[in-house]
Chains A and B, each alone.
Chain A
Amino acid sequence: MTAALHAQATCLHCSLPVPAGRRSAFCCAGCEVVHDAIAGYGLDQYYALRDAAAPAPAQTTAYDYAELGDPAFQRLHVRTDPDGTAHTALYLEDLRCTACVWLVESAPRCLAGVTEVRVDLGRSRADVAWDPAATSLPVIARYLDRIGHPVHPYRGLARDALRRREDRSLLIKLGVAGAAAGNLMLLAIALYAGLFGGMSRADTGFFRWASMAVALPALGFAATPFFRTAFGALRARRLHLDLPLSIGILAGLVWGTANVIRGVGEIYFDSLAMLVFLLLAARWIVLRYQRRASTAAELLLSLTPSRAHRIAAGSGQPGDPASDVAIDVPIEALVPGDLVRVLVGEVIPVDGDVVTGISAIDAGLLTGESQPVEVAPGARVHAGTVNVAAPLAIRATAVGFVTRVGRLVAGIEALSTKAPIERLVDRIAGRFVAVVSSIAVLTLFGWSLTSVAAGAEHAMALLIVTCPCALALATPLAVTVALGRAARRGVLIKGADALERLATPGTLFIDKTGTLTAGKLAVVTWRGDLDAAGLASAAEAGSSHPIARALRAHASPSGSARDVREELGRGISAIAGGHSVLVGSPPWVRRRSRTYPVIEGWIAELVERGETPIAVAVDGAMVAVAGLADPIRDDAARALGALGRLGWVVHLLSGDDERVVRRVGAALGIPWSRCHGQVSPEDKALAVVAARAEGTVVMVGDGVNDAAAMAAASASIAVSGAAEIAIEAADVYLRSPSISEVAATAAGAQATLATIRRNLRFSLAYNLVAGALAVTGLIHPLIAAAVMPVSSLTVLASSLRSKAFRERARPEQAQEHV
């Protein structure tokens, strides 16, 4: 009974089950810390407010956020009011529910000096105001961290302000158009009723004047975005869908005004207002979806580390973690000549020379090389690479934009030759304008044979009723549905253009690292004594080298090791399980033990296959060889098959060793001629430019080395874990770094284009019918008022039925958090 109760115990903080054997009311230490902090501040109401759903263990980092107090950071991100109050925006992790909002906004009650905290849940953002004399930003950040919301500086505030202005202006126009449409419809109903029931001429005239008084100012204001684009397109001698729209709206307003003044003839103000309202609504929805996708991408940028540990001058032996004093500063504060400490697993923030420490550097993001490179004092290291083995002290030679990464990034702007594609609807719009205006002229002259007034009446009616409202809605609605569904499964698409480019199959370049492979070294082959795997694992137990991690993942250690001696870049020796064990590169092990022809054969075989051989010797004799490589993802072959069926030609384009690339290609059935290894970032971009001559080129990448190629491609896809610059260069960002999501994105883009085409057919059919009625003089404003909304609704229904991104993502992908 007790056992059963115990098994059901749930964490007091997050409601997840408490692991068996843990003698605590909490599932983890993080939850306990956060719960204590919340209770300690008297904020227990949090637990009453909280949604029962969405449990997740608390996150708290105990990080000190010293860099947020640095003058360089304050200058960039903190705004000070005349009265001395400081403001900044922070990005908070784990903001999920009402209770989180309450907890964070309660900060002024618990923290002296904090004036106000306002949370924006949709953007995971908090605006903080505080009195710099009473408290400081690092203190506030530590507080927020302790209550379970780790903090990151929110970048892109300037962009935010610009967008907000744009959003507000469009929203006001939408409101004005909506109000006008509603009121005009009421007036129109009175007029139609009068038409059938009889109404005095004076009353009719009054209603017509009232309609005009509402329509002219309201539509003149609300439709300005269309007029402006149409005018701009005319001046640039381009075709744009806003041109026929503007012609229809203007013709309606002018003709309606003329008829009101004349006192005879039809007015179309109500239909026009409804049309403008629907068009603005579609624009508003599309804008919201695009904002959401780009906000999500920007949050990822905010998550990338922005701090460095600068070693204070003259603080003892440089680089020795025990004696020197490192203070955290924002990267912006570093200057050449600074001494920087880089801990294991951290990204090197500067270009520079190693002063102390022997370690391995993973330059994968910069060069595409998947194997770590050993570095020793004197070696040159580059910003953007990852320190994987041991702490380093680095003397900065270049910082910021003059680092190799910075120069690569600058080069991207020059390569970004993405001309705005001529959209399908714009091409149709061009023909549409030509056809409709020539039919209008024919109508005018045809009817003029009987009466000039009738000719003008019918020609104007044609221009107005064929105003391509449904045509204008066809693309935005289909794209919005696709973007929304894609975002839900973790595919962030930055715009409609990207979808259109992805829909035409062409060449697909894949940077192998990270998309086709798991992205981590693993033991893929083991030759020889199986028991040696456990001994090797035991010997490597204390090392953080990637090879050691791979060996530990391969087999659980048999016994514990002592007398461990690690020679970086060579191997490790230890006494494990009562045996002397050597694990390391074959030449190093060979020098210290006996070898056999069969083992040398295995080593040669592994090298031939592009795997890294690691020899294991037990008691002075080599007994086994492990082949290490980046294993292929389970879903890669299936996804490549799906891409092939869609019509894509897949190439591997990697900075990795030629043999490694071919090994991956062979395992996935990609011909040798399409596997390119050891490609420099510059050559990648050239390959993309060359392939663009033959059609669509899509680049899938994750590293700084891919960014130039991604900018040069017709469309580019960045995958989860990608470098900041790659995310920025990409049109699509995948939250899960798997190739099957690339295939799903391509398929979704094609399905979206199919929906757009179907929508266009629907709306053109409507225009054909309405146009025919207008030409023959059978159109009536009542029919026009009915046909326009019905055509738009048909397009809406057709968009919602789209197959794009319909199938659900697998649960583990849906779970993945930003």
Chain B
Amino acid sequence: MTILYLILPLALVFAGAAVAAFAWTVRSGQLDDVETPPRRILFDDERAEAARPPGSFAGDAQSPRPQR
């Protein structure tokens, strides 16, 4: 059973590391919004090249009556 005297502190060090990692994820804001990121993984990168090059937005010329 003497091996316990090595394994137990080692296990607690691992647990401490896990807690530290958790604290880091929280502090860096990764858990502020848990709703949107799971959806982002669904995005497909392939069609990105098919999109028009930047700067093609032409909607600027037309801004009719501000009726809101």
User: Given A119-B36, A172-B26, A206-B5, A112 and B55 touching (CB < 8 A)?
Assistant: yes
A109-B54, A139-B60, A206-B8 known, 5 other contacts, Cβ within 8 Å: A66-B63, A110-B56, A168-B27, A175-B22, A214-B15
A542 within 8 A of B: no
Q: Taking the nearest CB of chain B, how far is it from the CB of A278, in angstroms?
A: 18
10 nearest A-B pairs in the assembled complex, by CB-CB distance:
A64-B63, A112-B55, A98-B39, A42-B51, A112-B54, A122-B35, A121-B36, A175-B22, A120-B33, A109-B51
User: Given A45-B47, A110-B51, A146 and B59 touching (CB < 8 A)?
Assistant: yes
Minimal Cβ-Cβ distance residue in B for A139: B60
User: Cβ of A425: which chain B residues have Cβ within 8 Å of it?
Assistant: none
Q: Are A142 and B39 in contact (CB under 8 A)?
A: no
Minimal Cβ-Cβ distance residue in B for A169: B26
Over the window 58-70 of chain A, the binary record of Cβ atoms lying under 8 Å from chain B Cβ atoms (1 yes, 0 no) is 0001111010000
Q: Are B39 and A101 in contact (CB under 8 A)?
A: yes
User: Given A142-B59, A214-B12, A171 and B54 touching (CB < 8 A)?
Assistant: no
Which residue of the partner chain, among B12, B33, B52, contacts A42 with CB atoms under 8 Å? B52
User: Cβ of B48: which chain A residues have Cβ within 8 Å of it?
Assistant: 109
Point out which of A105, A113, A122, A175 has the most chain B C-beta atoms below 10 A from its C-beta: A175
Minimal Cβ-Cβ distance residue in B for A326: B66
A635 within 8 A of B: no
Q: How far is the CA of A40 from the CA of B31 in the complex (A)?
A: 35
User: Cβ of B12: which chain A residues have Cβ within 8 Å of it?
Assistant: 183, 210, 213-214
User: Cβ of B64: which chain A residues have Cβ within 8 Å of it?
Assistant: 62, 64
User: Cβ of A123: which chain B residues have Cβ within 8 Å of it?
Assistant: 33
Identify which of residues 400-422 in chain A touch chain B, using a CB-to-CB cut-off of 8 Å.
none
Q: How far is the CA of A106 from the CA of B44 in the complex (A)?
A: 11
Which residue of the partner chain, among A101, A122, A164, A305, contacts B40 with CB atoms under 8 Å? A101
Q: How far is the CA of A214 from the CA of B43 in the complex (A)?
A: 43
User: Given A168-B27, A175-B26, A183-B15, A111 and B54 touching (CB < 8 A)?
Assistant: yes
Q: Taking the nearest CB of chain B, how far is it from the CB of A283, in angstroms?
A: 15
Identify which of residues 784-807 in chain A touch chain B, using a CB-to-CB cut-off of 8 Å.
none
Q: How far is the CA of A172 from the CA of B18 in the complex (A)?
A: 12
Identify which of residues 484-541 in chain A touch chain B, using a CB-to-CB cut-off of 8 Å.
none
User: Cβ of A206: which chain B residues have Cβ within 8 Å of it?
Assistant: 4-5, 8
SS class, residues of chain A in contact with chain B: helix
User: Given A42-B50, A122-B33, A139-B60, A179 and B68 touching (CB < 8 A)?
Assistant: no
A343 within 8 A of B: yes
User: Cβ of A210: which chain B residues have Cβ within 8 Å of it?
Assistant: 8-9, 12
User: Given A172-B26, A343-B67, A179 and B55 touching (CB < 8 A)?
Assistant: no
Q: Are B26 and A171 in contact (CB under 8 A)?
A: yes
A818 within 8 A of B: no
Q: Taking the nearest CB of chain A, how far is it from the CB of B17, in angstroms?
A: 11
User: Cβ of A328: which chain B residues have Cβ within 8 Å of it?
Assistant: 66
Which residue of the partner chain, among B11, B31, B44, B68, contacts A305 with CB atoms under 8 Å? B68
A634 within 8 A of B: no
Minimal Cβ-Cβ distance residue in B for A106: B51
Q: How far is the CA of A44 from the CA of B48 in the complex (A)?
A: 11
User: Cβ of B68: which chain A residues have Cβ within 8 Å of it?
Assistant: 61, 63, 305
SS class, residues of chain B in contact with chain A: loop
User: Cβ of B60: which chain A residues have Cβ within 8 Å of it?
Assistant: 139, 142
Q: Are A203 and B4 in contact (CB under 8 A)?
A: yes
Q: Are B5 and A121 in contact (CB under 8 A)?
A: no
User: Cβ of A207: which chain B residues have Cβ within 8 Å of it?
Assistant: 8
User: Cβ of B35: which chain A residues have Cβ within 8 Å of it?
Assistant: 120-122
Minimal Cβ-Cβ distance residue in A for B41: A98
Q: List 25 A-B contacts (CB under 8 A).
A: A37-B59, A42-B47, A49-B44, A62-B62, A62-B64, A63-B66, A63-B68, A64-B64, A66-B63, A105-B40, A105-B43, A106-B51, A110-B51, A120-B35, A122-B33, A139-B60, A142-B59, A146-B59, A167-B32, A168-B27, A168-B31, A179-B22, A200-B1, A203-B1, A305-B68
User: Cβ of A142: which chain B residues have Cβ within 8 Å of it?
Assistant: 59-60, 63
User: Cβ of A112: which chain B residues have Cβ within 8 Å of it?
Assistant: 54-55, 57
User: Cβ of A168: which chain B residues have Cβ within 8 Å of it?
Assistant: 26-27, 29, 31-32
Q: How far is the CA of A91 from the CA of B64 in the complex (A)?
A: 22
Minimal Cβ-Cβ distance residue in B for A200: B1
Point out which of B23, B42, B66 has the most chain A C-beta atoms below 10 A from its C-beta: B66
Minimal Cβ-Cβ distance residue in A for B31: A171
A176 within 8 A of B: yes
User: Cβ of A66: which chain B residues have Cβ within 8 Å of it?
Assistant: 63, 66
Q: Taking the nearest CB of chain A, how far is it from the CB of B44, in angstroms?
A: 6
Q: Are B42 and A110 in contact (CB under 8 A)?
A: no
User: Cβ of A214: which chain B residues have Cβ within 8 Å of it?
Assistant: 12, 15
Over the window 35-48 of chain A, the binary record of Cβ atoms lying under 8 Å from chain B Cβ atoms (1 yes, 0 no) is 00100111111000
Which residue of the partner chain, among A62, A102, A175, A183, contacts B63 with CB atoms under 8 Å? A62
A546 within 8 A of B: no
Minimal Cβ-Cβ distance residue in B for A49: B42
Over the window 565-581 of chain A, the binary record of Cβ atoms lying under 8 Å from chain B Cβ atoms (1 yes, 0 no) is 00000000000000000
User: Cβ of A106: which chain B residues have Cβ within 8 Å of it?
Assistant: 51
Identify which of residues 146-178 in chain A touch chain B, using a CB-to-CB cut-off of 8 Å.
146, 164, 167-168, 171-172, 175-176
Q: How far is the CA of A164 from the CA of B60 in the complex (A)?
A: 36
Identify which of residues 113-145 in chain A touch chain B, using a CB-to-CB cut-off of 8 Å.
113, 119-123, 139, 142-143
Minimal Cβ-Cβ distance residue in B for A114: B54
Q: How far is the CA of A18 from the CA of B63 in the complex (A)?
A: 28
